[in-house]
Amino acid sequence: MKRVFLFISIIAAVNLFSQTKRIKILSSKLTTTDEEKLPGATILIGDVRVSHEGATLDCKRAVLYKEKNLFKAVGEVVIEQGDSIIQYSDFANYDANTKIAKSWGNVEVNDKEMKLTTDTLYFNRSKQLLFYPTKGKIRDKKNTLTSNKGTYYLKDKKFTAKTKVKVVNPENLLNSDHLDYYTNSNLAYIYGPSTVFNLKDSTKIYAERGFFDTNTDISYFVKNAKLYLKEKTIEGDSLYYDKRKGFASANNRIKVIDTVQKTVIKGNYAEIFELQDSLFIIKKPVAISILEKDSLYVHGDTILMTGKKDNRIIRTYHNVKIFKENLQGKCDSIHTNQSTGLTRMFKNPILWSGKSQITGDSIQFLTDKETNKLDSLRVLKNAFIIQKDSIDPNLFNQIKGRNIYGKFVDNDLNTMLVKGNAESLYYNRNEDTFKLETITKEIASDIEFLLEKNEIIQTKYFKKSEGKTYPPSEFPEEDKKFQGFIWREEEQPKTMEDIFIRDSEKTKSTIEKKNKDVEKAKEKLKKENIKRSKLIEEEEE
């Protein structure tokens, strides 16, 4: 059975071979043979021209093996295939059975779209492709492409280039390990680590999959995409970039790195406007300021960055939460001016520092522009500090006044000054037994606090007007909480991940009620502060 199958295969191969059209000799000045040196060969010399299935080959000298249907050409070899391509080389071998030509020595190929030069080239006429295994160069109207290996598909006008690929034009340089390039559209599709350099302003794009339109400078990358601008790097799972319009958009796992200001902004959708030096990020965005000991994280619904490095503004809108190892916060929106280092919190702002809750109409903190460390804190109007007692969760140490000014040392709060109409309430415990011994209430013009590891270790009063220390049993119940007291511990982000947790409907309802209570309390505080100011003025007189 095997012999029958083998016999049938041989017959089929013979029939196929017999159907292959023979190479035809069209012209030659001299035709001869040399059976001793070249048995079975016809030697053609001078103005040699042959044809095979729509293609012609011209050369100075050649050897034709009629039985084998093979042709070897030497000197000024020209291969033409209709009006599709014309090829030049020093040498060429053509196998009419496989319709494959091998050319070497100063190879040049031209078609309507491009010019290819290389040292060695294979032309597969059956598949209509050209392959060069050594370095090759392709020129078209727009670009010059070089690579160590490449294949050109005549029908699709497509080059598949591999190993040290470069595509160059007056504006850009594209480096890649593997890409497809279309000479009729000037589009490049990349399939490996690739970089696009803009030769005019040194911007750069890195990616491992996508396409680049060399006509419009528009690119779209979908794997490990990175856009390097003058002072920022944008990373994302996918990246669209229109260089001429200066516009980019990125999707999923976005990271914007500002090397000058030492900030990183993350999110899942971003738009960058290069010419306006602005960008916005949505879908779980977070701005990260890299500090010496740890980092400060700011999250909101939207982050907008505008302005050049000397006057850059970062705005974070709606449902804003802040996290740092020893400082957390919450508000509706935040405005940061990187040129001044000033950050302002708006609409019911609150900070937590260590065990302390800090509130006021407006909260601001300043960052040192040189060291990027936190410098100072300002809590303006109706400033209030609350600290839960270390033993009894129903007791709270409290400080309030018109304004509070704090100073940071190594990114930790070191001193705080309550300026104007200051009041304090302290539950004093025995250092050894932690038993509650006395309760002290003080009223003064100003109060200064010294902190260590976010704990108050020293208190200094200025222009004290009144104060009293009570035994716990004699302290009036109604005085345990100052006017305007609201404890908001359930809103505090206690881990970095907490800043992404949205307030539940129940929490929102509670917060809204508390905010209304705060507004009522502020009105009462204004009246109290006016009375207290008058008393202090009378005592000073």
Question: Given this model, what pLDDT does residue 354 score?
Answer: 79
CA–CA dist 422, 525 (Å, integer): 12
Q: How confident is the model at residue 119 (pLDDT cuts 50, 70, 90)?
A: very high
360 and 466 both lie in a single domain? yes
> Which band of pLDDT confidence, cut at 50, 70 and 90, is reported for residue 532?
low
Give the closest residue to 75 by CA, choosing from 46, 100, 51: 46
- The answer as to whether 65 is a domain residue is no
- pLDDT at residue 12 above 70? no
Specify the pLDDT at position 181.
93
Residues 371 and 456 in one domain: yes
- Strand pairing report for 396-409 and 362-367: unpaired
Q: What is the CA radius of gyration of the chain?
A: 40
Partners of 504 in beta bridges? none
* Residue that wins the pLDDT comparison between 374 and 127: 127
Please state the rounded mean pLDDT for residues 458-487.
87
The confidence band for 133, taking pLDDT boundaries of 50, 70 and 90, is: very high
Boundary (domain end) residue, out of 237, 255, 284: 284
Contact indicator for 414, 440 with CB cutoff of 8 Å:
no
For residue 359, the Cα-to-chain-centroid distance in whole angstroms is: 35
Boundary-marking domain end, from 261, 284, 307: 284
- What was the pLDDT predicted at 262? 76
Q: What SS3 class is residue 115?
A: strand
One domain, residues 256 and 346: no
The string of pLDDT tens digits covering residues 37-49 is 888 889 999 999 9
Task: Identify the CA nearest to 48 among candidates 31, 63, 33, 27.
Answer: 27
Answer yes or no: do 465 and 363 share one domain.
yes
The count of domains in the chain is: 2
195-210: per-residue pLDDT in tens?
A: 999 988 888 999 999 9
C-alpha to C-alpha distance for 180 and 157, rounded to whole angstroms: 10
What local confidence, expressed as pLDDT, does residue 249 receive?
Answer: 94
Q: What is the pLDDT of residues 141-185, one digit of tens each?
A: 889 999 999 999 998 999 999 889 999 999 999 999 999 999 989
Q: Do residues 354 and 278 share a domain? A: no
User: Residue 17's pLDDT is what?
Assistant: 42
- The residues, any chain, with a CB within 8 Å of residue 281's CB and separated by 6 or more, are 254, 256, 265, 266, 267, 269, 270, 302, 303
d(CA 316, CA 304): 6
Structural domain boundaries enclosing 206: 135-284
Q: State pLDDT tens for residues 478-514.
A: 889 998 899 999 999 999 999 999 876 545 555 566 5
Render pLDDT for 222-263 as a digit per residue (tens, 0 to 9): 999 999 988 789 999 999 999 999 999 999 999 998 877 778
Residues 377 and 524 in one domain: yes
pLDDT-based confidence at residue 345 (cuts at 50, 70, 90): very high
pLDDT computed for residue 123 by the predictor: 94
* Domain final residue pick, 284, 300, 327: 284
Q: Residue 226 maps to which CATH number?
A: 2.60.450.10
AA letter at 456: I
Percentage with pLDDT > 70 across the chain = 89
Average model confidence (pLDDT) for the chain?
86
pLDDT at 528: 58
Residue 415 domain-assigned (yes or no)? yes
Same domain, 262 and 347: no
Do 447 and 462 contact (CB within 8 A), yes or no? yes
Quick one: 433 and 517 in the same domain?
yes
Residue 426 forms part of a structural domain: yes
Lowest mean pLDDT among 26-30, 370-374, 422-426, 458-462: 370-374
Q: Do 384 and 528 fall into the same domain?
A: yes
Quick check: is 402 in a domain?
Answer: yes
pTM, full prediction: 0.75
Residue 84, in any domain of the structure:
no
Instruction: Kindly state whether residue 322 falls inside one of the protein's structural domains.
Output: no
The one-letter code for the residue type at 441 is K
pLDDT exceeds 80 at position 117: yes
Res 402: pLDDT: 92
Same domain, 250 and 360: no
- Find out whether 207 and 239 touch, Cβ atoms under 8 Å: yes
Q: Report DSSP letters for 278-305, one per residue.
A: EEEEESS-EEEEE-SSSEEEEE-SEEEE
The letter for the amino acid at 440 is: T
- For residue 255, the SS3 value is strand
Task: Please give the Cα distance from 186 to 374 (Å, whole number).
Answer: 51
Over 80: is that where the pLDDT of 524 sits? no
427 and 536, same domain (yes or no): yes
Residue at 22 is within a domain:
no
pLDDT value of position 511? 58
Judgement on whether residues 349 and 275 belong to the same structural domain of the protein: no
**92 in a domain, yes or no?**
no
pLDDT mean over 396-405 = 92
